[in-house]
């Protein structure tokens, strides 16, 4: 792992690959996902975190998304306050959205990121859909390794 300049003992969340059968696999093909929870944590920065009453979801790790996105349902369940509005461009053109203050929690590492999340009607098919997209706002705080030759798929945390 020295070729990636990862500090010794760095924590990471394993990237898995979600396929159309609704199951996550250790290797491609599939959509790269990590287990995450969206929450609003006014005590952010006060120490280690655990999930209390929140259901972890598969979050799509999307290097092509500048921002983070979640379904309105997930944002409401997490209690994330609205801090603004925005016009977002997606594959279908421009859409109106709401901007929320949120915390993305990665249970595998115990790390949590205070970040903006935009409301978007993503594909949400119950337990297996991506109701949360982790974009570059969070990815750039750590290091993403997608090594297809050596089958190493991880997001290291800062």
CATH number at residue 101: 2.40.70.10
CB 118 within 8 A of CB 84: no
pLDDT at 121: 82
What CA–CA distance (Å, rounded) separates 3 from 134? Answer: 25
CA-to-CA separations, 135 to 9, 52, 61, 104, 114, in angstroms, rounded:
25, 24, 6, 11, 13
Listed as ranges, residues in the chain with pLDDT below 50 are 1, 124-128
Q: Is the dihedral of CA 68, 1, 31, 110 positive or negative?
A: negative
Task: Quote the pLDDT of residue 48.
Answer: 64
Total domains, the chain? 1
Q: What's the pLDDT score for residue 124?
A: 47
Q: Which domain holds residue 34?
A: 2-156
36: Cα within 13 Å, side-chain hemisphere: 35
């Amino acid at each position: 792992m020295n070729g990636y300049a990862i500090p010794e003992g760095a924590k990471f969340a394993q990237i898995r690959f979600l396929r159309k059968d609704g199951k996550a696999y250790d290797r491609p093909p599939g959509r790269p996902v990590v287990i995450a929870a969206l929450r609003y944590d006014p005590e952010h920065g006060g120490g280690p975190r655990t999930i209390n009453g929140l259901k972890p979801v598969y979050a799509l790790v999307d290097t092509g998304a500048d921002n983070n996105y979640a379904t309105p349902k997930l944002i409401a369940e997490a209690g994330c306050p609205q801090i603004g509005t925005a016009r977002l461009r997606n594959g279908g053109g421009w859409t109106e959205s709401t901007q929320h203050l949120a915390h993305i929690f990665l249970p595998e590492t115990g790390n949590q990121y205070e970040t903006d999340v935009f409301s978007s009607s993503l594909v949400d098919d119950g337990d297996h859909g991506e109701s949360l997209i982790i974009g570059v706002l969070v990815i750039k705080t750590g290091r993403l390794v997608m090594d297809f030759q050596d089958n190493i798929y991880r997001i290291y945390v800062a």
